[in-house]
């Protein structure tokens, strides 16, 4: 089940591809205007980036409307959008079992009060190492994780790109290394990771 907004410039064949893979796109709004656009420059090792341009497009006026048939979903993945919109989505769902959220430097810098409000309602925060340090003001991994958990989430997943990811939940710590692969373009890797994480949890039921 997908909820979001795209502009009229968004290719319909991509929507049909998602539908063909069993994704219910009835929550996808097509608005008059350009689709959200982001540009960035990655370092040579593709582990960090500098944002060059963020154009909200139709996201600037997006008011999420969750279809009634979506509202009882047990699992919610809040993609990397404005925290105010993430909160608006949460306000419309009915007692989900697990809420996972993603965010980025743009929202940490520009919408921190709303982001902090959101984190109090999130079960799992998925965030990369650089942004975790930016959000917490800490540097050492243990201190970063402790601060994230103080902000509300029961679990923090801190991604380290080619080095894998760390999961912190209370006194529990787990490290998952990454497979050695040739990276081509890591844009969108965070949301893909979070979606795969939640998909596995949903399938495993634990």
Q: What is the pLDDT of residues 63-101, one digit of tens each?
A: 999 999 999 999 999 998 899 999 999 999 999 999 999
Cα 118 to Cα 135: distance, rounded to the nearest angstrom: 13
3-204: CATH topology: 3.40.1190
User: What's the Cα-to-Cα distance from 160 to each of 58, 150, 156, 176, rounded to whole Å?
Assistant: 31, 21, 13, 10
- What does the pLDDT read at residue 189? 79
Cα 182 to Cα 47: distance, rounded to the nearest angstrom: 13
pLDDT over threshold 90, residue 205: no
Residue 22 banded pLDDT, cuts 50, 70, 90: very high
The SS3 assignment for 169 reads strand
Q: What is the pLDDT of residues 146-163, one digit of tens each?
A: 999 999 999 999 998 888
- What does the pLDDT read at residue 150? 98
Rg (CA), the chain: 17
Cα 199 to Cα 170: distance, rounded to the nearest angstrom: 22
- Residue ranges covered by each domain of the chain: 3-204
- What does the pLDDT read at residue 191? 83
The SS3 assignment for 6 reads strand
């Amino acid at each position: 089940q997908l909820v979001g907004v795209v502009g009229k410039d968004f290719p319909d064949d991509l929507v049909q591809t998602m539908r063909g893979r069993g994704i219910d796109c009835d929550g996808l709004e097509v608005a008059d205007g350009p689709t959200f656009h982001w540009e960035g420059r990655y370092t040579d090792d593709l582990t960090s980036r500098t944002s060059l341009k963020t154009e909200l497009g139709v996201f600037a006026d997006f008011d999420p409307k969750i279809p009634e048939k979506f509202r009882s979903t047990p699992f919610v993945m809040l993609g990397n959008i404005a925290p105010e919109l993430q909160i608006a989505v949460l306000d419309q769902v009915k007692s989900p079992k697990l809420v996972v959220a993603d965010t980025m430097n743009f929202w940490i810098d520009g919408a921190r009060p709303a982001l902090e409000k959101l984190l109090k309602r999130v079960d799992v925060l998925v965030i990369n190492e650089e942004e975790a340090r930016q959000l917490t003001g800490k540097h050492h991994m243990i201190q970063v994780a402790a601060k994230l958990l103080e902000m509300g989430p029961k679990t923090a997943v801190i991604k380290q790109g080619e080095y894998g990811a760390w999961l912190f939940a209370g006194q529990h710590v787990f490290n998952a290394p990454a497979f050695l692969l040739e990276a081509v373009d890591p844009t969108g890797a965070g949301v893909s990771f979070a979606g795969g994480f939640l998909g596995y949890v949903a399938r495993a039921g634990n």
